[in-house]
């Protein structure tokens, strides 16, 4: 099951307003820029490295395979 997020409803509104569909991605990004900027300012003001709080528990010792050689 995939839950709809705000973009699903925004797309319906954009479509109803007659906005071309090739502009949807741009509008989605523009609507988030202020939030992204706020995160940057918060992290810049805190001035410390962000470290993950969890440890990786997935498979280890896996080797990289070039895309051309993958099945």
Burial profile 31-50: b = 16 or more Cβ within 10 angstroms, e = fewer: eeeeeeeeeeeeeeeeeeee
pLDDT at res. 38: 94
Confidence of residue 15 (pLDDT cuts 50, 70, 90): very high
Q: The whole model's pTM is what?
A: 0.52
Domain boundaries, the chain: 1-46
The answer to whether 23 and 44 are in contact (CB under 8 A) is no
- Cα→Cα distances 40→20, 45, 52, 59, Å: 31, 8, 17, 32
Higher-confidence residue of 5 and 16: namely 16
- Round the average pLDDT of the chain to a whole number and report it: 91
| CB-neighbour burial class of residue 22 (10 A; exposed 0-12, middle 13-18, buried 19+) | exposed
pLDDT tens across 35-66, in order?
Answer: 999 999 998 998 888 888 898 899 999 999 99
């Amino acid at each position: 099951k995939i839950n709809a997020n705000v973009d699903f409803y925004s797309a319906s509104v954009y479509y109803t307003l007659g906005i071309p569909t090739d502009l949807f991605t741009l509008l989605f990004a523009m609507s988030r820029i202020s939030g992204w900027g706020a995160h940057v300012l918060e992290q810049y003001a805190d001035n410390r490295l962000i470290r993950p709080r969890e440890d990786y528990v997935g498979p280890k010792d896996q080797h990289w395979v070039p895309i051309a050689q993958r099945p």
